Amino acid sequence: MLELDYKVLKQIFRASNHLKVGDIAKILKVPHSTIGSSVKRLEEKGYVIYERYKPVKLSHTGKNLAIELGRHARLLELLLHNELGLDPLDAHNESEKLNLLLSCNTINKICAKYEHPCECPCGVKIINSSDCFCERTI
């Protein structure tokens, strides 16, 4: 998955209201056409449902992937905080940069190492899953 596609997926997941392509472009400060291309890739993979001029919606698959990628980031945050001593904010910011680089197997080992934690150092709840959704879809 491209980093931009991850950021778009994350914005749609976190939004309290439905976002159109133009809204996402403004939030991410990226050209409308670039976001449109990202949304098209996400739609082709079955992660979003999109009709021109209408809000972009996550599919069931897209929502599950967003939850799993959030889990990855929170567990990386925990590792960076506990093992490298990064403060919670720095650990959070760094985990977002590294999130797509590690396999689900590695993330699951981090989860097991810390005995399946419920929240990360910045206080965000870690949603655990019984298996790694992204290995089947990315």
Compute the C-alpha angle 135/98/56, nearest 5°: 65
Last residue of a domain, one of 58, 84, 99: 58
Q: Tell whether 26 and 81 lie within a shared domain.
A: no
C-alpha torsion angle, residues 129, 131, 137, 138 (rounded to 10)? 80
Does the pLDDT value for residue 135 go beyond 50? no
Sign of CA dihedral 5, 8, 128, 44: negative
Same domain for 80 and 48, yes or no, is no
pLDDT digits (tens, 9 = 90+) for 17-73: 899 999 999 999 999 999 999 999 999 999 999 999 999 999 999 988 888 889 999
| Same domain membership, residue 133 and residue 97 | yes
Q: Identify the pLDDT of residue 31.
A: 97
Task: Look up the domain containing 45 and give its range.
Answer: 3-58
Residues 28 and 87 placed together within one structural domain of the fold: no
pLDDT band, residue 138 (cuts 50/70/90): very low
Structure token digits, residue 52: 């021109």
The band of 77, judged by pLDDT with boundaries at 50, 70 and 90, is: very high
Q: Domain total for the chain?
A: 2
Of 32, 58, 84, which closes a domain?
58
> Which CB contacts under 8 angstroms, 24+ apart, belong to 78-87?
78/110, 78/114, 78/117, 78/120, 78/121, 78/126, 79/110, 79/113, 79/114, 81/120, 81/121, 82/114, 82/121
The arithmetic mean of pLDDT across residues 81-87, rounded, is 96
**CA–CA separation, 68 vs 95, rounded Å?**
14
Residues 69 and 102 in one domain: yes
The CATH number given to whatever domain includes residue 33 is: 1.10.10.10
In terms of domains, do 131 and 67 share one? yes
Whole-angstrom distance, CA of residue 24 vs CA of residue 75: 26
Higher pLDDT pick, 108 / 33: 33
Residues 8 and 67 in one domain: no
The residue count of the chain comes to 138
Residues 132 and 70 in one domain: yes
Are both 73 and 22 inside the same structural domain?
no
Do 39 and 93 belong to one domain?
A: no
Does residue 116 share a domain with residue 97? yes
**Other residues' Cβ atoms within 10 Å of the Cβ of residue 93:** 13
Short-list 92, 68, 91, 67, CA closest to 81: 91
Q: Can you list the positions of beta strands (E) in 17-120?
A: 48-49, 57-58
